[in-house]
Amino acid sequence: MAVLTPAAFRARFPLLARRTYVNSCSQGALSTDVDAAMRRFLDSWNDEGSPWETWVGEVERLRTTFASLIGADADEIAVLPSASTGINAIASALTFDGTRRRVVMGRFEFPTMAQVWLAQRERGAEIGWADPVDGMLPPESYGKVVDERTLVVPATHVCFRNGHKTDIAGVAALCHDRGAYCFLDDYQRTGTEPMDVRALGVDFMVTGALKYLLGPSGVAFLYVRRELIERLVPTMTGWFGRVNPFAFSIDDLDWSSSARRFESGTPMIPNVYGAQAGLDLLGAVGLDAVEQTVAELTVGLMAWAGDAGVVTATPTDPARRGALVVLRSTDAPALVTRLGARGVIASCRDDGLRISFHGYNTQSDLDAVIAALEAESAMLVKEKLGELHA
């Protein structure tokens, strides 16, 4: 695909001509590229019946493309139907019967990550929590609870509730200094800026296609650091975790020497086509351009909120926030509905209105968001004379 300018990139998303879309933290907008790719799958099914060699080849192409995106090798990537599947695969490969049986999580985790590890208590896991300080979760918070008993530390890169961006490199260094694994949940960040998973130093990472990677649901990725792959034997498995799935063996359980060992059942082929198109589109515009656009629009929204006295749950320090901004509301679900009636598509969590930009957004989108928020300002929580009021 040819290199795309930001304007040409935006033109690939028909929704943006009709709505102000600022909800990429929930679901990326649909592009003409993803639409066409998923139709190509249907055509291949209709024309060729069951071209499984072609379809499996698309899975391998997606694996390679994603690996390049995060600075990994293809054999360190498992292609899965959900992040939950990847987390469970790693959890099933760990044991909690020795001295190291603690799982330490921050209070900013998405429920899936927390729930998978809470379920491991049935297998002997002990759970510890790192608590935020003033809406922030620095490595020091983890340092208070990660110790010689800790086996793994799951940590979200960007919190889905407030947009806080964790110093993952710092958390990973702390984990390794104390002999624990670091498991990154990058779902709310991947696709918003360049990434080098080796520089971060994490042992595992999960993310998915449906948000900033511009693909459909039903495709997720698990990164496993190469040195760990063959040490881990998941009990959650399936025929695509084998050396050669199409050997159809029922007598042997041979494990792939790559991260494919963490895969399980038949790949989600239609979604794979869509996910590949999303990654190709991101590659064409470039993650540097996406990062710049997101940063400029986020700074603009935070500046407006500060001038208007609107209370934000998102850190004011640009280095400590991701691509989403959360504004406090007296009734966030109702505010989402009212903004929708004004043509602005956003989302909410708890008492916060979430606004998330992508590389396809522009200053005109920010202006539209601000105009809609000003029209509904009675539903925003504001600060005045040191006190919060509606």
pLDDT greater than 50 at residue 388:
no
- The pLDDT value given to residue 87: 97
DSSP assignments along 186-237, one per residue: -TTTTTSS---HHHHT-SEEEEESSSTT---SS-EEEEE-HHHHTT---SS-
Least confident of 65-74, 175-184, 234-243, 327-336: 234-243
- Indicate left, alpha or beta for 329 from its phi (over 0: left) and psi (-120 to 50: alpha): beta
Six-digit token pair at 48?
Answer: 């060729």
Q: Which residues, 6 or more positions from 213, have their beta carbon under 8 angstroms from its beta carbon?
A: 28, 190, 191, 207, 275, 278, 279, 282
Domains of the chain: 6-30+286-389 (3.90.1150.10), 34-282 (3.40.640.10)
Say how far apart CA 136 and CA 142 lie, in whole Å.
Answer: 12
Burial of 389 (0-12, 13-18, 19+ CB in 10 A): exposed
Task: Report pLDDT digits (tens) over 186-213.
Answer: 999 999 999 999 999 999 999 999 999 9
Strand 352-356, strand 344-345: pairing: unpaired
- The pLDDT value given to residue 56: 95
Task: Report pLDDT digits (tens) over 78-97.
Answer: 999 999 999 999 999 999 98
DSSP assignments along 90-158, one per residue: HHHH---SSS--EEEEETT--HHHHHHHHHGGGGT-EEEEEPPBTTB--HHHHHTT--TTEEEEEEESB
Per-residue pLDDT averaged across 175-189, rounded? Answer: 98
Say how far apart CA 67 and CA 59 lie, in whole Å.
Answer: 12
Say how far apart CA 302 and CA 316 lie, in whole Å.
Answer: 7
Give me the residue label for tokens 């490595």.
Answer: 139
- The pLDDT value given to residue 236: 86
- The pLDDT value given to residue 384: 66
Share of the chain above pLDDT 90, in %: 91
- The pLDDT value given to residue 2: 78
154: closest CA among 134, 192, 181, 133? 181
Give me the residue label for tokens 């202006």.
Answer: 367
Per-residue pLDDT averaged across 290-319, rounded? Answer: 96
pTM over 0.85: yes
Six-digit token pair at 278?
Answer: 């999303």
Give me the residue label for tokens 């029922």.
Answer: 250
